Structure 1
Amino acid sequence: MKYSVLGKTGLNVSRVSFGGIPIQQLDQEDANSLIGRAIELGINFIDTARGYTVSESLIGEALAGKRSNVFLATKSMARDKEGMRKDVDISLNNLKTDYVDLYQLHNVPTLEDFEKVMAPGGALEALLECKEKGLIKHIGITSHSIEVIEKALEYDIFETIQYPYNAIETHAEEIFKKAYEKNIGIIVMKPFAGGAITNANGALKFILEKEYITCAIPGMCSMEQLEQNVKAADNPVLDESEREELLKEARELGNTFCRRCGYCQPCPVGINIPMMFMFEGYYTRYNLQQWAQERFNTLPVKASECVKCGLCETKCPYNLPIRDMLETVKDLFE
């Protein structure tokens, strides 16, 4: 396994690390085996979240007697101080630890939400207090919005950013380089485009050959996935045939794959279009049907409320058939 320093945190983390979304599918015994094997193979950074149902608890139990071998990252979608403070306590209890190495503001979607978490009484205030008390060591932010990440880079408080990047979604390259220059750790989520890319080895090499990227956190729920993903770190450089094979698959997926760039927004009736397709991916490719359905149900405006105006399609830089794709989401969830 190869390692890289996670920006200003100083943590020397495995370049292929452990994403904690799909572990929700496992029972405790299988989770113990998977986490134990991951550590044996050199993975020392595990990312989870309050919103991943039982993920924190499974990981916490699996790390009994092994906590000192890993750096733990988790995150919360709380936007105010009180909610974030409660979530930190829950995370500490679930993870069975006295401290979390990296606590992140989770999925901050808009500049309005960003201003809310940064304001007095916002979620960041709680994280700063927890850091002073030693309950968390470092603070990061995750988002699917380039605008939010760009704004976050203006603040010295953030030591890491987490953003989707893969052979299909490459629009973060320049912001990653800017973060690297500021010594901010770069954590890549969705390295397989939410499970759409089947060439896992090539997909990880595509990411890891960029030295400015600190690590990728593919979600894993089987030994086969784990062993395959770890191999990519041994020689993280694509040869020409591997590159062409990967890009061929990316081109084929490009006709119907949402990059979550957000250019289609705002929708006249208020549909969060990128979020619709993200939940569809969790449902169809991550095998997290119940979790995806529950999260979809919380959305205030559903896919079925699309009025077929087509405005989104005129703004999509990838010419996606968004209206047809929303119809698929409606049939899946509603």
Structure 2
Amino acid sequence: MPRTLVVIQSRLSSSRLPGKALLTLAGRPVAVLCAQRAGSTGLPVLVATSDDPSDDGLAMTLSSHGIACHRGSLEDVLGRMATATSALDDDDRVVRLTADNVFPDGTFIDTLLSTFANAGVDYLGTSSPDDGLPYGMSAEVFTARALRKAAEQAKTAFDREHVTPYIRRHMRMRTFQAPDAEPVWRELRCTLDTFDDYLRLLAIFTNVTAPETTNWRDLVQILVRQTRPAPIGTLFTLGTAQLGLAYGIANTVGQPTSDQTRALIHQALELGVNSIDTARAYGLSEARLGVALERRSSRPRVITKLSPLAEFDAQATPAAVRHAVRASIFESCHALRQPRLDTVLLHRWAHRTEWEAAAWNELLNLKNEGIVGTLGVSVSGPEEAREALRDENVSHIQCPVNLLDWRWRTSQFLAAVADRPDVEFFARSVYLQGLLLLPPSRWPRYEGAPPQHLAGILSALVSQLKRENREDLCLAYVRGLPWIKSLVIGLETPAQLHSNVKLFRHPPLNENERSIVERAIPTLPDTLLNPAKWVTS
């Protein structure tokens, strides 16, 4: 019978909420509560922290509460996990948790272990939102053999820091699916990454009399009751191209004023939007965002894009490109009024390799300097996305996805996505730049099924699938794709904001309903699916 060891990763040097493992929750430090809940059914629990002096206080706190502690490298977390489990046999099981997720308990871990035992894989883990669970209801199970193989063979800093990507890429893996998960769960958040998260958890555990043993499902139900109806959180990313310039075939309003833009952004934040998309090339967008977000106690995640570098041709020198990239980043920092950028994307995938990869390499330098957080790319189609997925430094991909576009359903693309579960996909152009909401007379010219025929199909699908309107159908289809984390929705008016938020509160299409849509829509040409190829005259 294989043994099991629960190992909880923890450190105090979090960049977003330093010292969070020692914040008080349910009358004890967060790391202590996490360990107590993980061991609630009798499983042995060990907290793996670093041997850096910054974690001395955490180690002493754990010891004073009788919780086993192992200390290892601060940067090489994979190595730390391997040494923490050195006493296990190869077939023994390791359960990996992180101390910022306090909802998982012994019963949840037991369910994962039971599933793992029958799955015939080397790795089983949660993956929000595909698993149907709230973000932060996270755990992973793998064999000690798999961990040791990763520790011996993984070489990149990314794999050493994040522990399991190497296992997921090179060994048999499966994503855990929560039995009987309610649709709203996947839209909730129970992790501890910001001060707002801490306030949420404080409110939840105020209503709990036995914090060590309260079942995880009971905590989730409290979370459901305390959260505003159908929260949209990271599922809805506010697109701001329209706030900086006149944009989109369906835009009849034009560019909003500065005051209108600020009011719209504030309304979006009040409605629960916590992710905003912008770009250097979006005119006044970054500057207007900077003004709107200044002095707010809790800032949303801002995703921006590098300058399109249109001033350079193929003969430009790498040195000139590097200077332009650095200038673009600092201009974004200045406009957004923040010293560090959360996420930066290449505006064009071709810039990944052009000029001897000077643009991408300079972004990597800026990331290493702490000026840029997450790096990613904006792509125009699945082929570019597949190429991007081969780069381990790409962790964010923004792509145009809508219910007409069959290209994102190919087995080659979906297999590439499955190999990189660490990459987050944000879908833009859900309405195909507004085209899907326009009458057929305003569609561009293309070969294939005429616009009138497609409009009839969409109307029939709205009726068959009991959706509110065509907008609801378009959103629900893309929201239902398990590999999509968020939808970038461009807006110009408060009415559009409230209409879209209302539709986000409807359930997404399930797998069977998505199949109905995919069978009904004919294969369409690139001249329709790619707005860059539209002929409108």
Shift of 1:149: 1.7
Residue number in structure 1 paired with 2:406: 170
Equivalent in 235, 238, 253 of residue 18 of structure 1: 238
Equivalent in 49, 60, 64 of residue 294 of structure 2: 64
Percent identity of paired positions between Structure 1 and Structure 2: 23
Shift of 1:166: 0.3
User: Normalized against structure 2, the TM-score is what?
Assistant: 0.43
Equivalent in 392, 399, 406 of residue 156 of structure 1: 392
Cα pair 1:201 1:231 within 8 Å, conserved: no
Residue number in structure 2 paired with 1:275: 532
Alignment of 1:37-76 (within 5 A): 37-66=267-296, 68-76=298-306
Alignment of 1:1-334 (within 5 A): 14-24=234-244, 25-66=255-296, 68-76=298-306, 77-78=308-309, 80-108=321-349, 110=350, 113-116=351-354, 119-120=356-357, 122-174=358-410, 175=413, 178-182=416-420, 183-198=422-437, 199-238=470-509, 258-260=528-530, 275-277=532-534, 325=535, 328-329=536-537
Residue number in structure 2 paired with 1:301: none
Decide whether aligned partners of structure 1 residues 84 and 173 sit closer, same or farther in structure 2, where only a CA change above 3 A counts: farther
Shift of 1:115: 1.8
Equivalent position amino acid for 1:98 in 2: P
Flag the structure with more relative contact order, 1 or 2, with Cα contacts below 8 A and sequence separation at least 6: 1
User: Normalized against structure 1, the TM-score is what?
Assistant: 0.68
Q: For 1:70 and 1:250, how far apart are their aligned partners in 2?
A: 37
- Aligned residue for 2:373, secondary structure, equals strand
Residue number in structure 2 paired with 1:303: none
Equivalent position amino acid for 1:68 in 2: S
- Aligned residue for 1:216, secondary structure, equals strand
Residue number in structure 2 paired with 1:285: none
Q: For 2:135 and 2:528, how far apart are their aligned partners in 1?
A: 30
Q: For 1:236 and 1:257, how far apart are their aligned partners in 2?
A: 31
Residue number in structure 1 paired with 2:27: none
Structure 1, residues 65-114: CA drift from partner, whole Å, max 9, x if none?
22733001000223832211110011011111111110000122x5xx43
Equivalent position amino acid for 1:233 in 2: F
Structure 1, residues 110-129: CA drift from partner, whole Å, max 9, x if none?
5xx43216x35x11122112
Structure 1, residues 272-304: CA drift from partner, whole Å, max 9, x if none?
xx6242xxxxxxxxxxxxxxxxxxxxxxxxxxx
5+ long unaligned stretches in structure 2: 1-128, 137-161, 163-190, 195-232, 245-254, 313-320, 438-469
Cα pair 1:18 1:218 within 8 Å, conserved: yes
Residue number in structure 2 paired with 1:306: none
Cα pair 1:202 1:243 within 8 Å, conserved: no
Decide whether aligned partners of structure 1 residues 209 and 61 sit closer, same or farther in structure 2, where only a CA change above 3 A counts: same
Decide whether aligned partners of structure 1 residues 154 and 246 sit closer, same or farther in structure 2, where only a CA change above 3 A counts: closer
5+ long unaligned stretches in structure 1: 261-273, 278-324, 330-334
Equivalent position amino acid for 2:400 in 1: P
Q: For 2:486 and 2:283, how far apart are their aligned partners in 1?
A: 24
Cα pair 2:405 2:524 within 8 Å, conserved: no
- Aligned residue for 1:43, secondary structure, equals coil
Q: For 2:426 and 2:419, how far apart are their aligned partners in 1?
A: 15
- Aligned residue for 1:166, secondary structure, equals coil
Structure 1, residues 231-281: CA drift from partner, whole Å, max 9, x if none?
2332332489x9799889976x96896112xxxxxxxxxxxxx6242xxxx
- Aligned residue for 1:69, secondary structure, equals coil
